[in-house]
């Protein structure tokens, strides 16, 4: 990552940022919590994206500050409601972050070393491009704690991965390894750990030499077209009713309790 310090950097922020050669860098930097996507972390990322927007960044790289086993453990379970409330409403911080990444005018590149869990997997898919090394794994884990995933999140997976793969990932919550992730299109480029940073930086800098106006128009067109599938109100209410039955039911309550008590849930 560039050594040019950005004004956002401060000792109490859970991220590191820098900006160089029209490329912004955001590094998740709260490894004691395995870079969990809690409110504080997300607010810092959103702030960085806003600054990069004013700096007319032509690409943004999202990475972990550490080359450790976990890239991000996903949505902070400590911030999920215990019961009887939608755990992933429209105004949830993670949902705000996903929208910010998708609507950012320039490409956002996920640089992945280590395992990606739960909502962090959704975040990686929300990025425009993914560069990963052989240590990377990707798992979507709501079935482990009884979370009824929201409709937007499910569509995010369905629009980018084969339906059978999406079903397997959601049904089993098992990680997809790096080689398979590249085969199914979750990862654009797979490289060695030693070459990961250089490969990602080269890609970002190449994008930065292209027309930012053309890229912004293309990215927004792709976002709008991918969200263009119509859904009638009856179907939406039916699907939301299915989710509501889960977060008001015993599985969600047991799943969150088991996670916090560090035991296997009994569904």
**Can you tell me which residue has the tokens 């959601």?**
170
**Can you tell me which residue has the tokens 């979507």?**
140
Q: Catalytic residue among 22, 74, 114, 149, which?
A: 149
User: Is 57:19 a contact under the CB 8 Å cutoff?
Assistant: yes
The reply to whether 90 belongs to the active site is no
**CA separation for the pair 138, 117 (Å, rounded):** 6
**Can you tell me which residue has the tokens 């806003």?**
50
**CA separation for the pair 13, 30 (Å, rounded):** 9
**CA separation for the pair 227, 126 (Å, rounded):** 13
**Can you tell me which residue has the tokens 């809690």?**
38
The reply to whether 149 belongs to the active site is yes
The reply to whether 118 belongs to the active site is no
Q: Catalytic residue among 74, 119, 146, 255, which?
A: 119
Structure tokens at 266: 């009994």
**Can you tell me which residue has the tokens 């039916």?**
238
Task: Tell me how far CA of residue 187 lies from CA of 75, 165, 182, 202, in angstroms.
Answer: 21, 14, 5, 16
* Length of the chain counted residue by residue: 267
Q: Catalytic residue among 74, 75, 113, 146, which?
A: 75
**CA separation for the pair 190, 181 (Å, rounded):** 9
**CA separation for the pair 86, 84 (Å, rounded):** 7
70-72: strand order across its sheet: 70-72, 115-117, 137-139, 176-177
Structure tokens at 56: 């007319």
Query: Which residues does the annotation mark as catalytic?
Result: 75, 119, 149
């Amino acid at each position: 990552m560039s050594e040019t310090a950005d004004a956002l950097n401060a000792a109490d922020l859970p991220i590191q940022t820098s900006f160089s050669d029209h490329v912004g860098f955001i590094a998740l930097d709260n490894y004691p919590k395995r870079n969990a996507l809690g409110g504080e972390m997300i607010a810092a990322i959103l702030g960085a994206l806003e600054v990069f927007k004013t700096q007319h960044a032509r690409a943004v790289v999202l990475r972990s500050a550490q080359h450790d086993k976990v890239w991000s453990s996903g949505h902070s379970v400590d911030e999920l409601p215990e019961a009887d409330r939608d755990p992933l409403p429209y105004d949830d911080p993670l949902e705000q972050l996903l929208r910010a990444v998708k609507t950012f005018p320039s490409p956002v590149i996920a640089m992945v070393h280590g395992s990606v869990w739960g909502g962090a997997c959704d975040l990686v898919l929300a990025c425009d491009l993914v560069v990963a090394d052989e240590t990377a794994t990707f798992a979507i884990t709501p079935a482990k704690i009884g979370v009824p995933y929201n409709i937007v999140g499910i569509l995010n997976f369905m629009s980018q991965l084969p339906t059978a793969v999406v079903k397997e990932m959601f049904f089993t919550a098992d990680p997809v390894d790096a080689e398979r992730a590249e085969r199914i299109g979750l990862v654009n480029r797979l490289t060695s750990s030693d070459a990961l940073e250089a490969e990602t930086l080269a890609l970002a800098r190449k994008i930065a030499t292209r027309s930012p106006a053309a890229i912004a128009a293309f990215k927004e067109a792709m976002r709008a077209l991918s969200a263009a599938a119509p859904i009638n109100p009856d179907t939406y209410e039916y699907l939301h009713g299915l989710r509501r039955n889960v977060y008001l039911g015993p599985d969600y309550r047991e799943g969150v309790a088991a996670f916090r008590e560090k035991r296997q849930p009994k569904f």
